[in-house]
Amino acid sequence: MDLDADPDTGDGSGILIQIPHHFFVEECQQAGFYLPEVGEYGIASIFLPQDPVARRHCGEVIESHIVENGMDLLGWRDVPINIDYVGKQARSTMPAMRHLFMGYRRLENFDQEKFERKLYITRKAIRTALQDVEGLIITSMSSRTIVYKGMLIPHQMEHFFLDLSDLRISSSIALVHTRFPTNTFPRWDLVQPFRNLAHNGEINSLRGNINWMLGRRPILASPLYDNIKEIQPVIIPRGSDSACMDNVFEFLIQSGYSLPHAMMMMVPEAWEKNPDMNPEKQAFYEFHDHLMEPWDGPASLTFTDGIRIGATLDRNGLRPSRYVVTKDDFVIMGSEVGAVDIDPENIKFKGRLQPGKMFLVDTEEGRIIDDFVTFSADLGIKVDTNPRVIKKFLSKKTNKIKIVFTTYQSGKV
């Protein structure tokens, strides 16, 4: 779909991939600096203002926050682009695009999960410091993933972003989104995917979800943050429904919840009075109903943390999601059949998501986790998911959320 009368300006296209380490090692050497081992550095993909004075100011503030948070500045890199493959309207609002590389300073105690959280906290602090600057957005800042996106038509992506046509780029994960949220006017910063998810549909409970997150700000607490106020507000103003959902999803992941656990909290199945659901899973949903309100669609969601990638439908099930698993170990899921040409002889099996169900691929373990019969073990849900513990809590019929956060969910927000 093109925007207005400009056939070359798209609603938005983007891709999230794993950081291609060997590619960036060579690119950074050419730029005059060197990268540590894989996972021991982060990359911030940044949209910067068109005005050179504002751009310089943003760069100085970003660098100072990175140093203040105990990281080493490694270097900057201009994102190679070809402006012949972007429409006139998109070009008029196109930000400057740069990559910033940063390393973790104390490698003797290196923990990538802690490093990811440090990057998250730093990015939130930068956003707070520069919230009044138009045209600044950090589209991704991670040691695992990187996002390329813009107001482009899908076929322009590999020509506009020269990195994407480089044969040295490799990734086990590709989360791709095309078009644009239907309830917002196109903007470069709102193109999907976001930092952890992409979304097809609408979140019709959005206003309530935002208000509930604002209302619980005084009781948020976690030993994982020195000062949890530094990362507030969790939901950034002026975002689309998809952007708001990504804000909360990322917050849960960085606060200690596993990827599928966070998604099951936000997008539960239709669990009430469901005779076909096992009691343990039903108790899980009932317990978490005290913690998080459902983000109701219709919605088809794809999500990743750079290791696992998955998809789910909300309980209304009004958006299509179909998948194919090939004999040469590719897993392809999309909202449209035939998005990728596949030889029928190479198809191992195929299927579609059901309402409230989830499909998950673990790239480290090399396996597919399909609809979680053994959900607590396979999902990495670490909340003492003993059904007796959950049922004991539920039997008290309490709604004191602070008790849940500080006692039952020990170590998590």
Structure confidence by residue, pLDDT tens digits, 81-108: 999 999 999 999 999 999 999 998 766 7
| Claim to verify: residue 169 and residue 200 sit in the same structural domain | no
Structure tokens at 197: 């998810």
| Claim to verify: residue 92 and residue 233 sit in the same structural domain | no
d(CA 368, CA 215): 37
Q: Note the pLDDT of residue 390.
A: 53
| Claim to verify: residue 363 and residue 278 sit in the same structural domain | yes
Judge contact between 143 and 36, C-beta under 8 A. no
Inside any domain, residue 145: yes
| Claim to verify: residue 221 and residue 326 sit in the same structural domain | yes
| Claim to verify: residue 243 and residue 119 sit in the same structural domain | no
Judge contact between 182 and 275, C-beta under 8 A. no
Inside any domain, residue 48: yes
Instruction: Name the pLDDT band for 185 (thresholds 50, 70, 90).
Output: confident
Inside any domain, residue 10: yes
Judge contact between 139 and 149, C-beta under 8 A. yes
d(CA 249, CA 242): 10
Between 371 and 331, the higher pLDDT residue: 331
Inside any domain, residue 179: no
CATH number at residue 78: 3.60.20.10
Name beta bridge partners: 177: 14
| Claim to verify: residue 357 and residue 318 sit in the same structural domain | yes
Inside any domain, residue 190: no
Inside any domain, residue 27: yes
| pTM attached to this predicted model | 0.90
| Claim to verify: residue 131 and residue 211 sit in the same structural domain | no
| Claim to verify: residue 281 and residue 402 sit in the same structural domain | yes
| Claim to verify: residue 274 and residue 136 sit in the same structural domain | no
| Claim to verify: residue 166 and residue 206 sit in the same structural domain | no
The CA-atom distances, in angstroms, between 128 and each of 55, 123, 144, 229, 379 are 16, 9, 24, 11, 33
Q: Note the pLDDT of residue 406.
A: 29
Q: Note the pLDDT of residue 10.
A: 84
Residue 115: helix, strand or coil by DSSP? helix
Judge contact between 45 and 141, C-beta under 8 A. yes
- Domain containing 270 equals 196-413
CA dihedral 65, 71, 76, 77 (to 10 degrees): -120
- Nearest C-alpha neighbor of 147 from the set 332, 334, 19: 19
Task: Tally the domains of the chain.
Answer: 2
| Claim to verify: residue 60 and residue 153 sit in the same structural domain | yes
216 Cβ neighbours under 8 A, 6+ residues apart: 401
Inside any domain, residue 187: no
Judge contact between 262 and 381, C-beta under 8 A. no
d(CA 99, CA 59): 11
Residue 306: helix, strand or coil by DSSP? coil
| Claim to verify: residue 48 and residue 91 sit in the same structural domain | yes
Inside any domain, residue 181: no
